[in-house]
Structure 1
């Protein structure tokens, strides 16, 4: 599974300029800065084609894409546009809940609920449409979080990998494991992806997403106490100012060295589960290693990781 990315370390021409405060304020610089803040940021210039064997030579250390750089700050337009669209996306569970509640009284709400249920008939496979992947909204989201990434070692662009990424995001189990003083991820009992990797002989990439756990909060705490007694999830996800808009924390993807799985092994063979257990243990240690290797550079030098 070959994956390519356009990587630019330097600020592109015509891209995000340095704020006018760095050069001294004048009337013309104020007007230029106002226009820069209120208009959509330009897309980065398309990079020339590179052979997959050259992908890892584009940068060393922490990498930035989409015209960003270490001191980049998104403009006001980007923050508002990305925040609004992310808020709508993360509010979907609440919107569905309100539709279900209103369906008791409203025929329009019942029709909307029927349309929501009809989405279960859509195909489950990924829809890899280039025009969708290149949509401005995803560019704005990456800039909103000032997305960066770092690889501990070069990867083979022609090799298949399974990505073990933690934490996953807003909706998975990790949202119930958040803690203000340390990172906590659920991995010790998760072996399904390891079984798939062993069956297909695909190496596993341990990936830690720095900043994800602080974008949203889950609560209030008294509802979580009730949820534990009822043995069900009770609570609300909230972010900026108590809304579904995530906090604009820096997101950094740290990719550790691949965990070698070995040749494909069919399920049911005597040594299958033993190899799954061995590979899973290496994945746990690989995730822990990549976290502690990069936490100080991200700014979490005293923040511990607990794997449960």
Structure 2
């Protein structure tokens, strides 16, 4: 269902997705679906059944769904003054769960795939990352803290996101009139602004030789030389990706395990440079991504 949501090449699906991004209120007014019915039904049935089971059996878990359920219950039982905006309904919980799941599914797998691709194209960097992983695991074991301490691996992930952000752009609504510095151009309140990730993340002003994969761009010294918003893979400001920290942990953990046990290299079917599928609204490799994988002997 999720792959269908992301990877559909149907003209109608692409058109609806563009409308939902550009004029999000329009589809609601004309009561038109922005998500395919099988995907919507799957999540509606799964989340609704889970909510009913938890209520019937008094099941409490430390997860995102439980947090939403707690907010809904607090609104219903007299704590409305603590909340602003529309009340959270069961349908709203389904919608929020869909957004949270969709946002961290294909984008995370693409991040890992692109990082492995760059490490295969740059075997010296791959060996350096593997060396760091082996050293830390031998000293500390494979734990959350040890994975988070793999600083060079994190730089590789961030540099991969800079070159191959799965999300091509972010759209934001201007909250007040703003004049672009040095011009007479005014962005009026309510205007939807599209921020193209590749334009910023590949700007030579911030990243010299932007087509070169160089994890050291994300060393502490280099990061302080750039404006905070010069890296836009997760967005920036109050609307920054809510799952960025979780995605980072998930990506680093999987990559650490893979690099510890396997060597990745390019082959005759590997496309260099990377080519994205123009029919899909996220940056998906055109005709797939091919690498050779070799098990590392113990």
TM-score tier by shorter-chain length is under 0.3
What TM-score do you get using the length of structure 2 for normalisation? 0.26
What TM-score do you get using the length of structure 1 for normalisation? 0.26
Higher helix residue share:
2
Higher strand residue share:
1
